[in-house]
Structure 1
Amino acid sequence: MNLNYNELQGFKGAINELACRYSFIDQVILYGSKARGESIEESDIDIL
């Protein structure tokens, strides 16, 4: 995984928000360039 500190904090916040709103969510998967460690500065964060 290739997230900097701010991205990681935002990712955690988004996951917490999703978990609060949708209690049926069992897992969240990070995929794409961030998950593969191939991201560049303009890359977004892909979750499923």
Structure 2
Amino acid sequence: MTVWRKSTYTGDGNNCVEVGHGVGIRDSKAPATHITLSSEAWTAFLKVVRAR
């Protein structure tokens, strides 16, 4: 079973992106589907997000 985490910036809202360790990302409004990411792709994504 995958544990999905929401960003601490989400607050009490349900309109967010969730991250599942080793699985990928998903939209909290459509939890039945997700996008699988390699660890390299996840690292590249975080690098871009942090640079903004």
Q: TM-score range by the shorter chain?
A: under 0.3
Higher relative contact order (CA 8 A, sep 6+): 1
Higher helix proportion, which one? 1
Higher strand proportion, which one? 2
TM-score (norm 1): 0.26
